[in-house]
Amino acid sequence: MIKDFDEKFSSSDTGAPDFTITDLSILKVMFCELEEVMDKEVSEISVKDGSKPGDYMIEILSKVELTAQKKDVVLDLLDKVILYHSTKSDNPWTSKGTGLQKFSDLLSVMFSRTSAETHRELDFKREFATKYKIFLQYEAPLKSQSSADPWAVPAASSKRKPSWKMDCWCFSPELGMRDIVDRGVHSVILTSGTLSPLGPLINELGVGFPVTLENPHIIKDNQVFVGVVTCGPDGTPLNSSYQNRSNEKYISSLGRTICNFCRMVPDGLLVFFPSYSVMKSNVASWEESGIWQNLSGLKPLFMEPQGKDAFQESIEKYYSVIRDPNSKGATLLAVCRGKVSEGLDFADENARAVVITGLPFPPSMDPRVKMKMNYLNAIAKEKKGLYGNDWYVLQASRAVNQAIGRVIRHKDDFGAILLCDNRFKDKRIHSQLSKWIQGQINVFDSFGPALKSLTGFFKGLDQLPRRSKSESALGGFQIGSSVFNTRCTIGDPKVLPKIDKSLEPNEDIFDCYKPSNASGASTSGTNRSGSIFDAMEDESQISSAQAYKPSPLARYSTSCYVNDDTKPVSSPNEKPKDPKRRKIAVALRKAIEPEDKKSSTEMWKSYLLEVKTLLGVTEQYGKFCTSVKEFKTTKNVENFAISLKKVFSAVPDKSKFLQTASLLVGAQDRDKFLALSS
């Protein structure tokens, strides 16, 4: 047999390997000895802590006489064997030397900075000991499949060696950067949109950067909206921390928050979760509660899959829906640090808003994360640098920066960034976000104002300079007299998503609460008392009388039609006229002085918007309007209190809404109202 091998390896054939059987024997002996040494070492490791310093690996290799002086010979032989495997293997399922390649890469990294000089080798060992860490752990054995024949006699079990895994991790990019500089390069230029903040990064790289530049974004301030949404429509705090992310109340509130954004954001909407597990658990909960069906009714839903082939197919379908002239847009659920957040371009209508549902912190119990934090804590005591906890927070911020960068892709692009986690209020988090959005951040302590501001942002886009369709990547949004082309037909609910009018900050409704100089003004030719109750009654009648009314966004469409006829209300060169409004004059109570009228009106605006956002087009909202209408007529405080108690019975923070509603009651009956309604 040895003779056959010798004849094969000594053949004059051009395809013969460039090594001998003796070379292979030496390599085989070295690997067998290394395996024996490692088996012994692994058997002695602690179950709880298998971490070792970097020079541990150098000591292991030296036991099989694999040192820096011999590494060139071994690497040369490994390259020859790997080349032979890759060119001669006829079976496409063979590894073709994959394991040998990994071992070769390990040696190349470990001995990359060694030389014949003794002091240089000592410096290398010292660096490797501090900047590299080794982690050993057992791997769970694969479960063997049971025999299909229940009558088969089980074979005698043979003892197998427990499998183990060794990781060699570098915790300092300084080694790689210094290796580049030592090769005599003239200059090193690093550019990225997500390097912020620069200070910790430069400190980690370990080489001087005398010139740094942080530019603002190429877009103007009115092309982006950045909002921190701290709570959902029902007042539940939005917090995706590990302790709270399984809270059903939070998950439901987050789903309703996204539903509201789907109504207001045209075309594409990206929603990023901290991890795949969080995304899947939220989706499962929404499917049970019915929120998933609501989301699907507003825009087609897509999820980022983990498989490569499935991912490509899903993204192509998403783009196809966006490009469809009859589409109302689409929602793509994705994961921070995933393919969508870091590798794809969502210009123009592909993404008009991005929602970040939480801070994507690395897994705190992961051995690599724990060892990295311990490493940073150790070196921070010796020299100025990041501590482990600071690095931990920074990793989440950088992942967020990657995700929010999907929405603005060129100078004429525009979109909204919605940070739906109350931890984004932290000034430390603000300082770690990209420089171009730091001055744009708006923090909203309640959901109503956030939704109103988002709607106002998209409505205000007609002030942007005109941009022709040919300049758009997919021929969508045109900026100018017609803000964007949502490709919809008003009156066709199959094309245009039905906007929940009770959740929409409608300017017509808000006008009803403005004080009027004409105290006896009438509405629609009928004399009526001007009061807030009349406005509530009119709003209820209008909501029930109209089956469908276009949203504020639809007024800016370049291809919108009213009702079922084919008469266009606007054209690309003509700005659409606002529909006629019914003005209702409201006379506020005399106790309110003229200088207080504006603040009082704003208070009622905010209150009504919160109620509408909270209850939506539901039976409870209808009861709310009816109760106010009846109280206006009967002045029965007891019935009014009992009715509102039922309306807000399922609201967590109902006392806040009832306290404001008590202002509708006379001062002498206010305590009675609060006692009966609480």
Alpha-carbon distance 610 to 640, whole Å?
19
pLDDT grade for 265, boundaries at 50, 70 and 90? very high
Instruction: Collect contacts of 309-315 with beta carbons under 8 A, ≥24 apart.
Output: 311/339, 315/340, 315/344
- Predicted pLDDT at 282: 94
Q: Which DSSP state fits 188?
A: -
DSSP state of 94: S
Residue 231 has pLDDT above 90, yes or no: yes
Report the largest interatomic distance among the alpha carbons of the chain, rounded to a whole angstrom.
115
Beta-bridge mates of residue 224? 415
Q: What pLDDT, on a 0 to 100 scale, did the predictor assign at position 518?
A: 34
| Contact (CB, 8 A) for 677 and 669 | no
Distance CA 214, CA 439 (A): 14
Give CA–CA dist 227/260, Å, rounded.
Answer: 14
CA-wise closest residue to 485 among 284, 329, 603, 670: 329
Q: Which two tokens stand for residue 213?
A: 């530049």
Distance CA 372, CA 46 (A): 19
Structure tokens at 437: 């959005």
- Going from the C-alpha of 448 to that of each of 352, 390, 452, 457, the distances in angstroms are 20, 34, 6, 14
Question: Where does the pLDDT of residue 252 fall: very low under 50, low under 70, confident under 90, or very high at 90 and above?
Answer: very high
* pLDDT the model gives residue 420: 95
Reported as a single tens digit per residue, the pLDDT across 84-122 is 877 776 665 556 677 888 888 888 877 776 654 445 666
Q: Which two tokens stand for residue 521?
A: 């003004």
Instruction: Pick the most confident of 379-383, 466-470, 523-527.
Output: 379-383
pLDDT on residue 80: 87
Write down the pLDDT at residue 140.
Answer: 64
Residues 6+ apart with CB under 8 A from 237: 230, 231, 250, 422
- Residue pLDDT, tens place only, 342-382: 767 788 888 899 999 999 999 888 889 999 998 888 888 77
When comparing pLDDT for 218 and 442, which is higher?
442
In order of their start, the domains of the chain are: 21-140+161-170 (no CATH), 224-462 (3.40.50.300), 616-677 (no CATH)
Place of tokens 């039609």: 561
The mean pLDDT of the chain is 73
C-alpha 483, offset from chain centre: 27
In this prediction, residues 177-203 reach a mean pLDDT of 81
Lowest-pLDDT choice from 363-367, 573-577, 661-665: 573-577
State yes or no: pLDDT of 333 exceeds 90.
Answer: yes
Share of the chain above pLDDT 90, in %: 18
Beta strands in 182-298 (DSSP E): 224-229, 268-273
DSSP string covering 349-382? GG-SEEEE-S--PPPTT-HHHHHHHHHHHHHHHH
Task: Identify the band that residue 141 occupies on the pLDDT scale cut at 50, 70 and 90.
Answer: low
How far apart CA 559 and CA 577 sit, in angstroms, is: 14
Percent of the chain with pLDDT over 70: 67
Q: 417 falls in which pLDDT band (50, 70, 90)?
A: very high
- In 3D space, the residue among 594, 629, 581, 582 whose CA is nearest the CA of residue 519 turns out to be 594
Alpha carbon distances (Å) from 64 to 28, 60, 114, 661: 12, 7, 19, 82
DSSP string, 289-356: HTHHHHHHHHS-EEE--SSHHHHHHHHHHHHHHHH-TT---EEEEEETTSHHHHH----GGG-SEEEE
Output the CA–CA distances (angstroms, integers) from residue 428 to 212, 405, 546, in the order listed: 22, 20, 48
Burial 113-140 (b: 16+ CB within 10 A, else e): bbeeeeeebeebbebbbbbbbbbbeeee
Question: What's the CA gap between 279 and 356, in Å, rounded?
Answer: 12
- Given a cut of 70, is residue 513 above it in pLDDT? no
Residue 403: name the closest of 315, 338, 306, 319 by CA: 338
CA 647 to CA 653: how far, in whole Å?
13
User: What are the counts of helices (DSSP H) followed by strands (DSSP E) for the chain?
Assistant: 25, 12
Query: In terms of pLDDT, which residue wins out, 81 or 163?
Result: 81
Q: What is the DSSP string of 622-639?
A: HHHHHHHHHHHHH--HHH
Handedness of CA 483, 489, 490, 496 (dihedral sign): negative
**Residue 517 neighbours by CB distance under 10 Å:** 7
Mean pLDDT value of segment 554-561? 33
Residue listed under structure tokens 């109620």 = 611
Instruction: Check whether 20 has a pLDDT greater than 90.
Output: no
Taking the C-alpha atoms of residue 295 and residue 261, their distance in angstroms, rounded to an integer, is 10
What pLDDT, on a 0 to 100 scale, did the predictor assign at position 423?
93
Is residue 30 within 8 Å of residue 64, measured between CB atoms? yes
Least confident of 30-39, 170-179, 247-256, 606-615: 606-615
Which comes out higher in pLDDT, residue 536 or 364? 364
First to last CA, the chain: 94
Select, from the ranges 205-214, 298-307, 486-495, the one with the highest average predicted confidence (pLDDT).
Answer: 298-307
Across the range 530-553, mean pLDDT stands at 42
Go through 519-533 and write b for each residue having 16 or more CB atoms within 10 A of its CB, e for each that does not.
Answer: eeeebeeeeeebbbb
CA distances from 363 to 367, 371, 419, 443 (A): 9, 12, 21, 28
Assign 444 to helix, strand or coil: strand
What is the pLDDT at residue 285? Answer: 94
Which stretch of 27-31, 369-373, 577-581 has the lowest confidence by average pLDDT? 577-581
- Residue 380 near residue 386 (C-beta atoms within 8 A): yes
Give tens-digit pLDDT for 473-511.
343 333 333 333 333 333 333 333 333 433 444 443 333
pLDDT at 270: 94
DSSP per residue, 381-420: HHSS---HHHHHHHHHHHHHHHHHTTS--STT--EEEEE-
Position with higher pLDDT, 615 vs 625: 625
pLDDT at residue 331 in the model: 93
The Cα 591–Cα 339 span in angstroms is 60
Q: Could you tell me the strand order of the sheet in which 164-170 lies?
A: 51-53, 132-138, 164-170
Q: Which amino acid is at 163?
A: S
